[in-house]
């Protein structure tokens, strides 16, 4: 497993420590999961940007447009 060192302010460090304690999760595990989730969101946003021109060409401008089409 790789090691990553980051700098965070004291308030964020306290929030991380408190939340990790409340959830019974170690700080490292908590941060790993947060990074995984953020990467998933970033991949989804990237995919949306790439397919947006094709969707717009079909008249799909919102999520509801897509749902209406497939329902």
The reply to whether 2 falls in a domain is: no
Domains: count for the chain:
1
Strands (DSSP E) found in 25-64: none
Compute CA distances 6 → 11, 18, 28, 34, whole Å. 14, 18, 12, 14
- Residue 19 — φ and ψ, nearest 5°? -70, -40
pLDDT at residue number 12: 98
Compute CA distances 44 → 10, 38, 52, 66, 68, whole Å. 31, 10, 12, 16, 21
Tell me the whole-structure pTM to 2 decimals.
Answer: 0.74
The reply to whether 3 falls in a domain is: no
pLDDT at residue number 67: 87
Range of the domain at 16: 10-70
> Could you list the pLDDT tens digit for every one of the 71 residues in the chain?
999 999 999 999 999 999 999 999 999 999 999 999 999 999 999 998 999 999 889 888 888 988 898 88
């Amino acid at each position: 497993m790789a090691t990553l060192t980051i700098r965070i302010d004291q308030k964020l460090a306290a929030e991380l420590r408190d939340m990790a304690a409340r959830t019974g999760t170690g700080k490292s595990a908590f941060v790993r999961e947060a990074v995984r989730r953020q990467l998933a969101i970033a991949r989804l946003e990237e995919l949306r940007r790439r397919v947006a021109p094709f969707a717009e060409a079909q008249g799909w401008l919102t999520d509801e447009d897509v749902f209406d089409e497939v329902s």
